[in-house]
Amino acid sequence: MEALPDDFLSRLRDLETSYIATSDPILQSGFSGGAVRWKDERSPILEAIH
């Protein structure tokens, strides 16, 4: 199996560091538009799930 590129692994580490920097799932997702906007933009996805 071929190793993953170093630049990919570096970006992955940066994402992991950002993700665990907060316990707020909205901020963990990389979203900075506020809770109401976060919910509004994701509700169509939830409505599609039965």
Is this prediction's pTM over 0.75?
Answer: no
Asked whether residue 4 carries a pLDDT value surpassing 90, the answer given is yes
Count CB-CB contacts under 10 A for residue 22.
Answer: 10
pLDDT band at 13 (very low <50, low <70, confident <90, very high): very high
Range of the structural domain that residue 43 is part of:
7-47
In a domain, 23, yes or no: yes
**43 assigned to some structural domain:** yes
Let me know if residue 33 belongs to a domain.
yes
pLDDT tens across 31-46, in order? 788 889 988 988 999 8
Q: Looking at per-residue confidence, does 21 or 8 come out higher?
A: 8
Q: With contact defined as beta carbons under 8 Å apart, do 36 and 45 qualify?
A: no
Q: Which of 6, 47, 45 is nearest to 29 (CA)?
A: 45
Residue 37 lies in a domain: yes
**Any domain includes 16:** yes
- Please enumerate in sequence order all residues whose Cβ is within 8 A of that of 29, keeping only pairs 6 or more positions apart, or say none: 38
**% of the chain exceeding 90 in pLDDT:** 26
What domain count does the chain have?
A: 1
